Structure 1
């Protein structure tokens, strides 16, 4: 970050990929276990995300300049893993496919009421309203995201049907036919998993469907990298399925469908990284060279996490009743095709 190291051949992504490969997750690599165990113990205290702390942590990352995100995200500002039906697809195409994939799993019907937990800049909420004729309440802890999401709903003429609020998930009241949460669960923290899923169960109608999209660990409980926790995602933690399932079970929710996206986020991050590298001068003008190096290092490390380490993306479909969705998953592809 301070510019005291020069990579003469390639760039920081190549260096981190080399390091990541040598500390990769695998039965043949004991080096990784030795290095990560102390960090796992040290990071446990950083995942207590009470309401006030959660808002402060979110502001640290998501209240940065709007222009920064415009420089590297897709046109709809989807700041989460895209869905690549073909690794050669463009970022915008893959993000559209992600929204369609999620909408298909939600089994939406016109007039339903949807809760979007962690709505970002409003793209998912606006998409669901447009393709399925549903009413959506999107909640966020980012004041900058809230401002833009509301402006987008006004511009689209749907502000009465797609509403956004500055609100913690623990403060939501009422009942919803559908709940969607994309890229927010990484900010909840293991101490709050039971609270999160119980709240979702209470907010979900008896015949409701929930779709949770989150980064996950294939290697079991771990640690948030100390640098990442300090500079990029304070309070953030990527969950293992073994940490999520006990909370889901205690909340009396049915796990109907689980999909594991393995390389999709690597493809997404590589496109973000290339766009950041191309926008170097503009990002330095927005902030400074130190910020640019920090952001580039963050994305390079994230690519390595999905290429070399055990990071994946989980999509969990949850319901309160065992017979809410069809008993075979063919309907997902059929519904998805209709949205293209």
Structure 2
């Protein structure tokens, strides 16, 4: 990609990508149905997400139940659907479950993946004079409210001795933030991959700092408690999670193949998709939903409570179910050495 603004045509598919984010878009409840049998598992997904990776890895074959896919633009509305029992299970990042728990939603974290946070970055334009996180004081920073990037911004500022009140926060969804960033209307942008890779590959900006070593790098599958109380659906959830774990393992040795599928699913340029896959996808390791994980998420919840972005104290441990932990490593397991 040349040194120019990202084509407007890319903004729509990019706004639909998987990973933790904020937003209010509705689900597409007319998703495809896979598998055989009388049982249907309603799965919430994001464009280029679980369905795409399962299909690419060949893990949607020989299902003993049907999967009905509903596509969401982001984590918060997906969890609203879980709360409403419209979706049995779906994937989100590390922060939307905290906000959902704070709202008293009926959700249960049942599975987790640990990876690098190098794709979660605070970006500045190439010609920006900002060189350090401390330089953000008094500057305008765009971020999606309630997203993983929201927490990454808070944590990065804290490490630099700053707080949210020291910057001019602009709560923007990714498509709007990208437009503001490339037109020079904001000084910095806190965001996640593949947006990070898109900006870097297009040489439209550079990384001021990343969430690596600052945020926990967790992503989750979150289920409806009602589905977990149904023995047949609970068994289907177990099978679904096993397939999803195998699919992520498949990515480790099929980076190029998965990047091509992801590019086709999302409308991303091939080079952007490959860069994002190498930076983000190939470092994800399935881990147990254990006390260390709960404590890490509790820290995020407490942070947003202190900022009064969540109305009260959240007991994150009350929103997890450990029944699917068998054989998984502890959540403190480091990402694969291949991440570089």
Q: TM-score, normalised by structure 1?
A: 0.35
* Structure with greater helix percent: 1
Q: TM-score, normalised by structure 2?
A: 0.35
